[in-house]
Amino acid sequence: VTDLDNAAIRSAYRRYAPMYDWAFGPVLDSGRDALAEELQALAPKRILEVGVGTGRALARCAASELQCGLDLSMDMLQRAAAVLPGETDRAVPLICGDAEKLPFASQSFDCVTLPYVLSVTPSPQMLLLEAQRVCTSGGHILVLNHFRSGSLLGLLERVLSPFAKSMGFRPNLDSAQLLAGRHWSILKERRVNVFNLTKLVVLRNCPPIAPTEGDARRET
């Protein structure tokens, strides 16, 4: 997908940062609350939020051993730093980086959350692969996103899609295409937010088991 690139995202979120919480705060909060509810039930120890933005979703999550936020936009991260715990034993590390090339070792987190980021990143496929790589086997990936709708709204999404780059948002992502046929199981799907426009999907990560040296010897 070439309609969005990192420069376009940084530039869009430089513009959005001062008014993000006002424009995209309360209207998307019930989805963030639903995500926090799922997290509370899963009780992971090490959570990474990808596309942490102004910290509005991560701030709702119950405390765990490690909570970490990553975003491409310094303008958004500066706002997150003002609302998330700073220099305490519950400090939340905030990292400026690209979610499609995560600066973490494989299996570093037992939960990776993706609230409202898949429609924004240049390659949602690449971002999902990276989320899967840094998530432990048996860990969870939580996706909260607006996906392509049917009927009249779908028509509007198609009309808006050529403007993805200037809006910093791709309005017509297909969830079935994106989430199907991968090494995870879909544990739950819920519709959230006003008019049920957003999907919350809970995935359990089951990457294929890499062959061990023992396996190779047994085969010879």
- Indicate the residue among 83 and 206 with the shorter CB distance to ligand SAM: 83
- Indicate the residue among 100 and 110 with the shorter CB distance to ligand SAM: 100
When binding is defined by CB under 6 A, the residue of 100, 136, 140, 142 that contacts ligand SAM is 100
CB-based burial label for 42 (10 Å; 0-12, 13-18, 19+) = middle
- Type and span of the H or E element at 67: strand 66-71
CA distance 5 to 121: 7
* Residue 120 interacts with ligand SAM (CB under 6 A): yes or no: yes
* Residue 32 interacts with ligand SAM (CB under 6 A): yes or no: yes
CA distance 89 to 22: 30
Look at residues 103, 119, 130, 127 and name the one whose alpha carbon lies nearest to residue 207: 130
* Residue 52 interacts with ligand SAM (CB under 6 A): yes or no: yes
When binding is defined by CB under 6 A, the residue of 48, 61, 99, 112 that contacts ligand SAM is 99
Applying CB under 6 A, which part among 87-95, 117-125, 197-205, 211-219 lies near ligand SAM? 117-125
* Residue 116 interacts with ligand SAM (CB under 6 A): yes or no: yes
* Residue 148 interacts with ligand SAM (CB under 6 A): yes or no: no
* Residue 130 interacts with ligand SAM (CB under 6 A): yes or no: no
- Type and span of the H or E element at 136: strand 135-146
